[in-house]
Amino acid sequence: MEQGLEQGSGMEQSNRAVIPIKFQLPAFSILLPVPAVLRLGLHVIVAALAILMTLISAAAGQEGEGQNSMQDQDALQALPVALAVRVSSTPQRARLVIDLSETSSFAFVSLDEPRRIAVDVRVSGSRARDRGEAAGQGLIKNYEISMIGEDRLRTTLLLSASAQVQQAYVLEPFDDQPARLVVDIIGASDEEFSARVRADREAFLAIAGQKEDAGGNQEGQDLFRAEMDHVSDAPGASKVQSDSRPLILIDPGHGGADGGARSPDGVQEKEITLLFARELREVLIASGRFDVALTREGDVAVMLEERVQLARDNRADLLISLHADSFEDTQIRGASVYIRDEQATDVLDKVLAENENKADLLAGFGLGQSEKSEERLVDILVDLMRREMRRQSFMVGLSIVEQLRQSVRIRRFPMRRADFFVLQSPDVPSILLELGFLSNDLDVRNLKSEQWRKRVADAVARGIGAYFDGNGS
Ligand SMILES: [Zn+2]
């Protein structure tokens, strides 16, 4: 019934670590030419950055005055409260965390003389201390917190060196953890910092001008929203800059006649993986940082070889294969990330036996064509490349696990190894994400929940982002 059963060999001692992945090749499959994956040129800037009305005064060196006297009291009371503010800092990076009673919107801006980054979040009040030293030493010297008007908490981070926001996001409450605004900051060159300050100021002035034209004297939420919208579209806004976006190839497992695992109530794995793939694509594209493609767009069969080939032919920077398999032990649940087992039988070695393929491989890696007399050298290089890809796969896996851990239930040993055929590209970092198990009722409920999937997609996207930040320069 199940052809092509692949065995996993787990990292942990448990004899439960072997997870059979079911896939079926169509009985009379024909090798189709691999279609080129289109790189999506969409460029949506969603770095939630806004330069707010009050920041004009901050930029000009005056502190903002409360300007929301006409604020609707009901709207104000609906806003969350800031519970605590924490800043940790090393010479390379820093993180600001604001605990919130509920999720809220936020904005940030870079300012100079002195160099600082101001982060505003919409809240009705704060229980946090009004200033503090950053824990650790490094990028951030100290910080100050103040309410700007009735509906905004500003945290001003005083920088000891040029720095920039790497990513900023709001986490939903989870278990006993409150909602959180997290702002990650990394070092930048002085030029980068100055350019950011300028861009923020210009974007702000453009908005201020438009407001005057509109004769707008809006207050409160409308104003905030309008500014958010404008600044999000403003050229030169402080988004994370990158000249060429990495291509993320998302591989929804199974498809067509191969439905994959099935929950007791009839949900098929192939449906879940495709749904999640689309959602993850949206989040990644919205970040403005990635090109994204899927190995399948609909309910069609795609052979494993083809999935691997798609990643290689398109020079994907990451292949992320999605699954939600079944397990005989119905207690097993939670998300996990697989990379390929170093010890596993290497099917691709057969292909690599042909010199041409090796040369092709190396060309793809930017090493150029080698002479046949250098066969041995080629072997060594291919081996090195493969090791490097496994190392990269491990790094990206870790990065994703790190983010998942903060958002959803994950398995006790979430970073796992197994011999998955689809992960064998020698030149594309590849990971397999088991979203959960269709054999576990609680997981099934999660997998069917759009809200849960969104939370996972957000976490995975952050993990991918962090991985590429670490490898960017
Ligand atoms: Zn599967």
Distance from the alpha carbon of residue 321 to the mean position of ligand 1, in angstroms: 9
Tell me phi and psi for residue 74, to 5 degrees: -65, -45
| Residues 444, 300 share a domain | yes
Distance from the alpha carbon of residue 291 to the mean position of ligand 1, in angstroms: 25
Distance from the alpha carbon of residue 457 to the mean position of ligand 1, in angstroms: 18
Distance from the alpha carbon of residue 57 to the mean position of ligand 1, in angstroms: 55
pTM of the shown model: 0.50
Q: Which residues surround ligand 1, an ion (CB under 5 A)?
A: 253, 260, 323, 325
Distance from the alpha carbon of residue 430 to the mean position of ligand 1, in angstroms: 15
Query: What pLDDT was estimated at residue 407?
Result: 87
Q: Is residue 83 part of a domain?
A: yes
Q: How far apart are CA 401 and CA 408, in angstroms?
A: 10
- Position with higher pLDDT, 174 vs 116: 116
**Structure token digits, residue 71:** 């604020």
Residues 6 or more apart whose Cβ sits within 8 Å of residue 75: 220, 221
| Residues 350, 434 share a domain | yes
Q: How far apart are CA 11 and CA 254, in angstroms?
A: 25
| Residues 279, 166 share a domain | no
What is the residue-averaged pLDDT of the chain? 72
Q: Is residue 10 part of a domain?
A: no
**How does pLDDT run across 330-383, given as a tens digit for each residue?**
888 999 998 887 554 444 444 444 444 444 555 544 444 444 545 666 667 777
Distance from the alpha carbon of residue 288 to the mean position of ligand 1, in angstroms: 29
> What amino acid occupies position 277?
A
**Structure token digits, residue 171:** 């986490």
Distance from the alpha carbon of residue 287 to the mean position of ligand 1, in angstroms: 27
**Structure token digits, residue 218:** 């809006």
Q: How far apart are CA 444 and CA 447, in angstroms?
A: 5
Distance from the alpha carbon of residue 12 to the mean position of ligand 1, in angstroms: 21
Distance from the alpha carbon of residue 21 to the mean position of ligand 1, in angstroms: 5
Q: Is residue 153 part of a domain?
A: yes
Domain of residue 57, CATH code = 2.60.40.3500
Q: Where does a domain end: 198, 233, 268?
A: 233
Residues 6 or more apart whose Cβ sits within 8 Å of residue 92: 138, 139, 186, 187
**Residue 195 DSSP label:** H
Q: How far apart are CA 49 and CA 37, in angstroms?
A: 32
Query: What pLDDT was estimated at residue 369?
Result: 47
**How does pLDDT run across 252-286, given as a tens digit for each residue?**
999 999 899 999 999 999 999 999 999 999 999 88
Distance from the alpha carbon of residue 324 to the mean position of ligand 1, in angstroms: 5
- Position with higher pLDDT, 151 vs 342: 151
**Structure token digits, residue 67:** 């300007």
**How does pLDDT run across 53-80, given as a tens digit for each residue?**
333 334 334 333 344 444 567 777 788 9
Q: Where does a domain end: 233, 266, 300?
A: 233
| Residues 282, 188 share a domain | no
| Residues 228, 249 share a domain | no
- Position with higher pLDDT, 384 vs 1: 384
Among candidate residues 82, 96, 205, the one with its CA nearest the CA of residue 158: 96
Q: Quote the crossing angle between the two packed helices 269-286 and 450-472, to the nearest 10°.
A: 50
Distance from the alpha carbon of residue 43 to the mean position of ligand 1, in angstroms: 31
Domain of residue 313, CATH code = 3.40.630.40
Contact 163, 139 (CB under 8 A): yes
Among candidate residues 241, 155, 209, 443, the one with its CA nearest the CA of residue 327: 443
Distance from the alpha carbon of residue 45 to the mean position of ligand 1, in angstroms: 33
Residue 299 has pLDDT above 90, yes or no: yes
Q: Is residue 327 part of a domain?
A: yes
- Report DSSP letters for 391-410, one per residue: HHHHHHHHHHHHHHHHHS-E
Distance from the alpha carbon of residue 432 to the mean position of ligand 1, in angstroms: 10
Average pLDDT, stretch 160-179? 79
Residue 151 has pLDDT above 50, yes or no: yes
**Structure token digits, residue 142:** 């100290």
Q: Where does a domain end: 233, 263, 291?
A: 233
Distance from the alpha carbon of residue 389 to the mean position of ligand 1, in angstroms: 23
Q: Which domain holds residue 62?
A: 53-67+74-211+222-233
Percent of the chain with pLDDT over 90: 29
| Residues 229, 377 share a domain | no
Separation in Å, CA 171 to CA 16, 165, 209, 448, 469: 32, 17, 34, 20, 20
Distance from the alpha carbon of residue 278 to the mean position of ligand 1, in angstroms: 17
Distance from the alpha carbon of residue 254 to the mean position of ligand 1, in angstroms: 6
Distance from the alpha carbon of residue 266 to the mean position of ligand 1, in angstroms: 15
Separation in Å, CA 418 to CA 7, 77, 366: 7, 52, 29
Q: How far apart are CA 452 and CA 435, in angstroms?
A: 11
| Residues 466, 351 share a domain | yes
Distance from the alpha carbon of residue 24 to the mean position of ligand 1, in angstroms: 10
Q: Quote the crossing angle between the two packed helices 190-213 and 220-233, to the nearest 10°.
A: 130
Distance from the alpha carbon of residue 399 to the mean position of ligand 1, in angstroms: 22
**Structure token digits, residue 78:** 């609906």
Distance from the alpha carbon of residue 256 to the mean position of ligand 1, in angstroms: 13
Distance from the alpha carbon of residue 325 to the mean position of ligand 1, in angstroms: 5
In angstroms, the first-to-last Cα distance of the chain is: 48
Q: How far apart are CA 241 and CA 225, in angstroms?
A: 24
Distance from the alpha carbon of residue 268 to the mean position of ligand 1, in angstroms: 10
| Residues 228, 179 share a domain | yes
Q: Is residue 263 part of a domain?
A: yes
Distance from the alpha carbon of residue 259 to the mean position of ligand 1, in angstroms: 9
Tell me phi and psi for residue 25, to 5 degrees: -85, 140
| Residues 306, 280 share a domain | yes
Q: Is residue 335 part of a domain?
A: yes
| Residues 172, 304 share a domain | no
Distance from the alpha carbon of residue 91 to the mean position of ligand 1, in angstroms: 42
| Residues 443, 401 share a domain | yes
Q: Is residue 5 part of a domain?
A: no
Q: Is residue 9 part of a domain?
A: no
**Structure token digits, residue 330:** 């119905």
| Residues 257, 179 share a domain | no
Total number of domains constituting the chain? 2
Distance from the alpha carbon of residue 466 to the mean position of ligand 1, in angstroms: 26
